[in-house]
Structure 1
Amino acid sequence: MNHSKTIRALKPRSGFPAFVILWATQALSTLGSSMTGFALVIWSYRQQGSALTTALLSVCTYAPYVLIGFFAGALSDRWDKCRTLLVCDTLAALSTLSVFVLYRAGSLAVWHLYVLNAANGFMNAFQQPAGDVAVSLLAPREQYQRVGGMQSFSNSLVTILTPIFASAVLAFGGMETIIILDLSSFCVAFLALVLLIRIPAAPPAGAPKSVLREGLEGLIYLRRHRGVLDLILFLAAINLTASVFNAALPAMLLSRKGGGEMALGLVNTCTGLATVAGSVAVSLMPPPKSRVRVICNTLLFSMGIENILLAFGRELWIWCLAGVLGWLLIPVMNANMNALLRSYIPLDLQGRVFAARNTLQFFTIPLGYLLGGILVDRVFEPLLAAQTPGSVLQLLFGDSKGSGAAMLFAVLAVTGELTCLIFRRDRHIWALEKSK
């Protein structure tokens, strides 16, 4: 055996090859985590039969992330990016291991998942800005759009494979096997970070300051750069609508006639296939003349078409078509938005600014999940159930459980379109293209 070749093969890499290793192994780890999350959503819905119960899982994940995001970004800028990623990944794996132990003991309860999701949200507040800056440090500037396409591609594969693999493993191996696979994927990502990747140090950010001051610098930057702030607020408004949608979708597909776990899995798979196609396309596309126009128009199309088809469709193939049309252009939007922000924001400030961006952009997500669960369980489902047979609302949306969620999708279609049209007229967002 040639040991010198083995040593050279394990030599840590930097630059774009290191990004490819980081991208592939983190995607594998994300797939494992997503399979566990998918299985736990089904498990919690079976326990309570409530959209609000499953929505609160996401609320608990995002709430701590939003609360400490500003300061986490400042600390992330100070810390070594590789070590930050390693620590966060390890703590997330310990959280998954806790689920495994509780499930094996027959003691797992929904409130355990709320606590563990909150802990994961806390860690994500440090991990995400560190990961964002690591990508900027590894990938050349001219590769930013390609990087965005690759990230969208891996996210799409995770979306496709999660319901397929999770459903199959649940059927033949049970929850324990899913968690073991999750922990195995963590080990692969951990070893890759330790042995194969060298993340360069970020440029110095000047004289040391207090964490509070550095945390506020991200907000100060956004206040001084109105176009970036307005673009983030646009995405925050979109995330509010999208998270209400995400809270309502399982409730409709798991309870409606022709639905069930298989239907939910198929719709998620179709969504993933669409985003794979969009990711491949954007990876091969040349940079557009107007990134802002691409961002606005892709969201305008996606927010309307998917919600309308889910609102009025009664068959599985229509729900699958909704997933395809709704998500086909989302990778194009994400890649152009990320390229625009990475090119505009100075590298030494990206951790703080991205943390501020994440806090502002994501604070609407727990609100949306909570609002979606309440609207389905306490407003739209009771409203449809109280209608007399043959009423207009029942003719439009149905008369069985899940019809209220369908009516909510119609409301979301209008809300999403209005949001896109309002921000599309924002001159500060358009000015970003002139300032690059």
Structure 2
Amino acid sequence: MSPLRQSPAFARLWAGSAIAGIGGQMTIVAVGLHVYELTGSTFAVAMVGTLALIPMIAAGLYGGMLADAFDRRRVALASSSVAWLATIGLALVAWGGSEVLWPFYVLTTLTSVAATITGTARQAIVPRLVSRELLPAASALGGVSMGVMVTVGPALAGVLVASVGFGWTYTIDVILFSAAFLGIVTLPSIRPEGERHRPGLESVRTGLRFLKGAPNIRMSFIVDIIAMTFGRPHALFPAVGALVIGGGAVTVGILTAASAVGTLVCSLFSGRIGLVRKHGIAIGWSIAVYGAFVAGFGAVLAFLALTGGTRPTTDIEGASIVALTIAAVMMAGTGAADNVSSIFRNTMLQSAVPDNMRGRLQGIFTVVVTGGPRVGDFYVGVLALVVAVWVPPLLGGILIMALIALCLRLTPSFRHYNADSPTP
């Protein structure tokens, strides 16, 4: 809790982001349920994230340039305003009763792009608000807020969609989103320190040249791409709730919230993480454990499918409660393992990269963190469509463990990274 006591500005930013994030996570789940209700297609659900991938890559790179060239507070405020207006658009579409898909794809892409720029600016701001020794604690608090977001948001989505419908669900997000502005507006002006570059191709090239000479930062990006590409079964949840475990929207909410519960519990007991100095080894092991839990989730689905124990029902009373419980435990494990990895990856980036490069590197990092799951959605959607629902997580978890072991073996500097002398 030290960063909250040391920096009131950080505390306001953290609280505002957490409240707004609850609504954002609620809408992510609601859009998936909405598209699945309109189409009955897991592939259509997966495409919600996939179509946003290229614009998000551009937004991450451009947002990083903006954060290294201008007042980071203003950058975050402008992009948050765009995301808020897109959320209002989703609410209007739902209240209008439209059954056309393209507004969902366009508005969620716009929201994702704006959120990418906001996240880039926000993460570049944090090291200016707290001291370096408290960066692991600040990252752990980020895990706490993320745990709350993804626990409360999806659970609310499941309940609200089932009880009052999509229109009210999106409208509540519009109201919750306003809290984000409170955290940003009250920040002081935060301009980059050192030499600044105007946004443009040369600014991007400078950032990429720095990344090319930063093997530890580069490897932290690569291992996260591996985890998010092969270990994100979330696009399967509507089909799992309707066709495999049963339970419909409630099952979707439980499974999505379970990973956040793991994140939250892990963050609450993360005090000793600040004592770990070998961050590269810690990242590798935590992602390997993540892969094991993803494979375990796939094994639960495979068991039901291959033994004829599937429950094609949207009624929670007809769901397989034992399978749902085990699947939720597996998802909680993924949340805890990913949180440990995230704490060390954030700390490595924020402490090893100079301030005037932090926005651009954070932009690339944001593209990895938010773009990786979109690639994962495409992987899951295609493989589930061509083979079976249980194949993507089972195969993906095994691939993650194998590829992480290979990465650690091939990168000695990453294995030997020491937080006492951070080097990019």
TM-score when normalising by structure 1: 0.85
Give 2:333's aligned residue: 325
- 8 Å CA contact 2:234–2:256 kept in 1: the answer is no
> How much does 1:15 deviate?
6.5
Q: Which residue type is aligned with residue 275 of structure 2?
A: P
Give 1:101's aligned residue: 92
Q: Which residue type is aligned with residue 408 of structure 2?
A: R
1:220 equivalenced with 2:228 (yes/no): no
1:146 equivalenced with 2:145 (yes/no): no
Partners of 1:198 and 1:323 in 2: CA distance: 39
Match of 1:424 among 392, 397, 408: 408
- Relative distance call for 1:199 and 1:284 in structure 2 (3 A) is farther
Partners of 1:63 and 1:428 in 2: CA distance: 31
Give 1:183's aligned residue: 174
Give 1:273's aligned residue: 261
> How much does 1:297 deviate?
0.9
Q: Which residue type is aligned with residue 40 of structure 1?
A: V
Alignment map for 1:228-267 (pairs within 5 Å): 228-243=217-232, 245-267=233-255
**Which shows bigger deviation, 250-259 or 57-66?**
250-259
Match of 1:202 among 168, 173, 192: 192
- 8 Å CA contact 1:65–1:121 kept in 2: the answer is yes
Give the total of aligned pairs: 397
Cα-to-partner distance string for 1:374-429 (whole Å, 9 max, x where unaligned): 1111x11xxxxxxxxxxxxxxxxxxxxxxx21133221121111111111212132
- 8 Å CA contact 1:217–1:353 kept in 2: the answer is no
- 8 Å CA contact 1:96–1:183 kept in 2: the answer is yes
Q: Aligned to 2:7, what secondary structure does the other structure show?
A: helix
**Which shows bigger deviation, 37-46 or 249-258?**
249-258
1:155 equivalenced with 2:185 (yes/no): no
Q: Identity of counterpart residues, as a percentage?
A: 20
Q: Aligned to 2:417, what secondary structure does the other structure show?
A: helix
Give 1:357's aligned residue: 365
Cα-to-partner distance string for 1:70-97 (whole Å, 9 max, x where unaligned): 2331122112112111111111111111
Give 1:298's aligned residue: 286
Q: Aligned to 1:432, what secondary structure does the other structure show?
A: coil
1:45 equivalenced with 2:30 (yes/no): no
Match of 2:22 among 31, 35, 57: 31
**Which shows bigger deviation, 42-51 or 160-169?**
160-169
Q: Aligned to 1:203, what secondary structure does the other structure show?
A: coil
Match of 2:354 among 346, 352, 355: 346
- Relative distance call for 1:303 and 1:327 in structure 2 (3 A) is same
> How much does 1:199 deviate?
4.5
Alignment map for 1:13-24 (pairs within 5 Å): 16-24=7-15
> How much does 1:126 deviate?
2.3
- Relative distance call for 1:356 and 1:189 in structure 2 (3 A) is closer
Structure index of larger Rg? 1
> How much does 1:330 deviate?
2.1
Partners of 2:9 and 2:44 in 1: CA distance: 40
- 8 Å CA contact 2:16–2:182 kept in 1: the answer is no
Q: Which residue type is aligned with residue 322 of structure 1?
A: M
> How much does 1:55 deviate?
0.6
Alignment map for 1:399-418 (pairs within 5 Å): 404-418=388-402
> How much does 1:253 deviate?
3.2
5+ long unaligned stretches in structure 1: 1-12, 381-403
Cα-to-partner distance string for 1:214-249 (whole Å, 9 max, x where unaligned): 122111101112222122112112221124x23334
- 8 Å CA contact 1:310–1:318 kept in 2: the answer is no
> How much does 1:209 deviate?
4.7
TM-score when normalising by structure 2: 0.87
- 8 Å CA contact 2:14–2:183 kept in 1: the answer is no
- Relative distance call for 1:24 and 1:55 in structure 2 (3 A) is same
5+ long unaligned stretches in structure 2: 305-322
- 8 Å CA contact 1:60–1:117 kept in 2: the answer is no
Partners of 2:164 and 2:240 in 1: CA distance: 27
Partners of 2:48 and 2:376 in 1: CA distance: 12
Partners of 2:370 and 2:96 in 1: CA distance: 35
Q: Which residue type is aligned with residue 399 of structure 2?
A: T
Give 1:60's aligned residue: 51
**Which shows bigger deviation, 69-78 or 153-162?**
69-78
**Which shows bigger deviation, 97-106 or 359-368?**
359-368
> How much does 1:354 deviate?
1.5
Partners of 2:66 and 2:190 in 1: CA distance: 17
